[in-house]
């Protein structure tokens, strides 16, 4: 959630030159301002809000513009480029498929589609067995909602249609995905609450300090929801607005509850899947398997492709031609995704993520410490870290300080996307999974320096205000 636009007035900044970062111009680059302005004129404001850098090319864990600047990428786009930017294997897969003359296939069979679903199947723990390829994460989560509602009504009659999800959860920006989303501000446009979509607190230990499963049951009871009427429960394995993995004990209790109430358990793995957490899927940290999972982002390394993973029974509820999408399994995207998965496997990127996880956690902790109480919460799971700027001793967001952190990082050669999360207070640290230890260390150290500077300035302002 970007809170405001970054300025388009070139600023003289301290030059940076390290092995991974080069900043050698004003920021934003004066020559790029016209293009950045034109985009602001021609597109909806919603496409804005990101740092004013005209991305030109990427190489591994770096992003460069056309003016000599290079950033150490702590964004992975938005948690997409698992095996890095400009990866030659993915470039080749895309080029080969295009040269073959196959860039669209609708639902006609292709070898690219077969190879991809075969590869994906090798990752699935039973009873997950079938794979439905789609284009966006929201399309995958919407499909899960549809399958849960269909299944609920099939096994429990018309009343079994309540879909439970989590407060502050994010599942995409289409209607169903936003009904299931947990931010009231994002769904005001719908105009009326839908009683068949109910949210419960996510056990993050911060905004919801009580992480016990009892909160789930108490909340449903307080909202007058009977378990028998629930068709499905969907949650992220870690929330996009932070990096806090669902506690294993909670997930296990939820699995039992879903089984007892004949409700489907669905994990949204759009952000967490394909290694980001140090395991192929986030749910693999919990010791349970969902009935459905929605995947996207890191599945393809950058091309628009998503997937629903599901059991035989659920995936076969609809007949031929009844669940389709025009760009499902696009051959170029499928070939790119296959190359991406092969690189992740061959280069042991999930193992690399798990090995670097303690460094990410230590770095996030040090950043929070350097902010001296202005960062109320840090989390890290695999190669995703998150710090939340909050008023001291509270959960109240300090979006201005979060925004400052992004802006200063950009000027020092660290690529971050705009703040996300509750009130726009969260900074996500998410390099490609092929990042090296020295690069990660360097980036985290810069972030720590920035946190200390912002906190010192904020303290000065507080002291002035206090007289």
Q: Which parts of this chain interact with ligand PLP (CB under 6 A)?
A: 136-138, 141, 170-172, 236, 240, 268, 270-271, 296
Closest CA to 269 of 259, 277, 261: 277
Cα separation, 31 vs 319, whole angstroms: 55
With respect to ligand PLP, which residue has the nearer C-beta, 28 or 282? 282
* Nearest approach, Cβ of residue 80 and ligand PLP (Å): 9
Cα separation, 451 vs 463, whole angstroms: 18
Cα separation, 55 vs 58, whole angstroms: 8
Give the Cβ contact number of residue 211 at 10 Å.
18
* Nearest approach, Cβ of residue 236 and ligand PLP (Å): 5
Cα separation, 358 vs 365, whole angstroms: 10
With respect to ligand PLP, which residue has the nearer C-beta, 129 or 173? 173
* Radius of gyration, alpha carbons of the chain: 22
* Nearest approach, Cβ of residue 174 and ligand PLP (Å): 7
With respect to ligand PLP, which residue has the nearer C-beta, 272 or 371? 272
Give the Cβ contact number of residue 436 at 10 Å.
15
With respect to ligand PLP, which residue has the nearer C-beta, 148 or 458? 148
Cα separation, 153 vs 161, whole angstroms: 6
Cα separation, 372 vs 380, whole angstroms: 19
With respect to ligand PLP, which residue has the nearer C-beta, 278 or 296? 296
Closest CA to 71 of 91, 57, 89, 88: 57
DSSP-based three-state secondary structure for 220: helix
Cα separation, 95 vs 115, whole angstroms: 17
With respect to ligand PLP, which residue has the nearer C-beta, 136 or 199? 136
Nearest position to ligand PLP, beta carbon: 137
CA distances from 14 to 63, 96, 149, 456, 467 (A): 19, 43, 56, 20, 33
* Nearest approach, Cβ of residue 171 and ligand PLP (Å): 5
With respect to ligand PLP, which residue has the nearer C-beta, 24 or 284? 284
The number of residues making up the chain comes to 467
DSSP summary character for residue 59: E
* Nearest approach, Cβ of residue 136 and ligand PLP (Å): 4
With respect to ligand PLP, which residue has the nearer C-beta, 254 or 458? 254
With respect to ligand PLP, which residue has the nearer C-beta, 207 or 411? 207
* Nearest approach, Cβ of residue 277 and ligand PLP (Å): 12
With respect to ligand PLP, which residue has the nearer C-beta, 166 or 378? 166
* Nearest approach, Cβ of residue 296 and ligand PLP (Å): 5
Six token digits for residue 315:
């995936």
* Nearest approach, Cβ of residue 421 and ligand PLP (Å): 11
Helix and strand counts by DSSP (H, E) for the chain:
13, 16
Strands (E), 340-404: 375-381, 384-389
* Nearest approach, Cβ of residue 411 and ligand PLP (Å): 26
H-assigned helices in 380-436? 399-411
With respect to ligand PLP, which residue has the nearer C-beta, 241 or 451? 241
CB 415 within 8 A of CB 63: yes
* Nearest approach, Cβ of residue 344 and ligand PLP (Å): 19
* Nearest approach, Cβ of residue 433 and ligand PLP (Å): 16
DSSP-based three-state secondary structure for 276: coil
DSSP-based three-state secondary structure for 336: helix
């Amino acid at each position: 959630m970007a809170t405001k636009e970054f300025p388009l007035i070139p600023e003289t900044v301290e030059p940076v030159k390290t092995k991974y970062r080069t900043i050698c111009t004003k920021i934003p680059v004066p020559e790029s301002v016209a293009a950045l302005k034109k985009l602001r004129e021609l597109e909806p404001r919603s496409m804005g809000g990101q740092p004013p850098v005209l991305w030109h090319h990427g190489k591994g864990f770096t992003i460069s513009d056309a003016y000599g600047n290079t950033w150490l990428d702590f964004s992975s786009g938005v948690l997409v480029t698992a095996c890095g930017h400009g990866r030659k294997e993915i470039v080749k897969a895309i080029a080969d498929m295009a040269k073959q003359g196959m860039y669209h296939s609708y639902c006609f069979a292709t070898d690219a589609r077969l190879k991809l679903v075969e590869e994906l199947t090798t990752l699935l723990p039973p009873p997950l067995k079938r794979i439905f390829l789609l284009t966006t994460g929201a399309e995958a989560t919407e499909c899960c909602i549809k399958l849960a509602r269909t299944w609920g009504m099939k096994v429990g009659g018309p009343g079994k249609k309540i879909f439970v999800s989590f407060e502050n959860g994010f599942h995409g920006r289409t209607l169903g995905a936003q009904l299931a989303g947990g931010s009231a501000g994002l769904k005001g446009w719908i105009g009326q609450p839908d009683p068949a979509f109910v949210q419960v607190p996510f056990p993050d230990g911060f905004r919801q300090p009580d992480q016990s499963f009892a909160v789930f049951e108490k909340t449903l009871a307080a909202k007058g929801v009977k378990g028998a009427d629930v068709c499905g429960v969907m949650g992220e394995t870690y929330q996009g607005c932070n990096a806090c993995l669902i506690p294993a004990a909670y997930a296990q209790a939820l699995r039992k509850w879903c089984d007892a109430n004949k409700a489907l358990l669905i994990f949204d793995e759009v952000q967490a899947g394909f290694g980001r957490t140090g395991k192929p899927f986030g749910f693999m940290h919990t010791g349970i398997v969902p009935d459905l999972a929605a995947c996207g982002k890191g599945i393809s390394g950058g091309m628009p492709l998503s997937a629903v993973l599901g059991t035989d029974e659920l995936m076969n509820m609809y007949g031929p031609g009844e669940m389709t999408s025009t760009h499902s399994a696009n051959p170029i995207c499928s070939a790119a995704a296959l190359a991406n998965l092969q690189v992740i496997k061959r280069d042991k990127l999930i193992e690399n993520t798990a090995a670097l996880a303690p460094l990410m956690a230590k770095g996030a902790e040090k950043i929070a410490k350097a902010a001296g109480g202005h960062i109320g919460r840090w989390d890290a799971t695999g190669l995703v870290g998150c710090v939340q700027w909050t008023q001291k001793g509270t959960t109240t967001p300090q979006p201005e300080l979060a925004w400052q952190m992004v802006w200063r990082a950009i000027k020092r050669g660290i690529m971050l996307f705009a703040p996300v999360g509750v009130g726009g207070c969260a900074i996500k640290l998410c390099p490609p999974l092929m990042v090296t230890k020295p690069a990660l260390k360097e980036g985290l150290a810069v972030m720590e320096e920035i946190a200390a500077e912002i906190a010192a300035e904020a303290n000065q302002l507080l002291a002035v205000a206090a007289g």
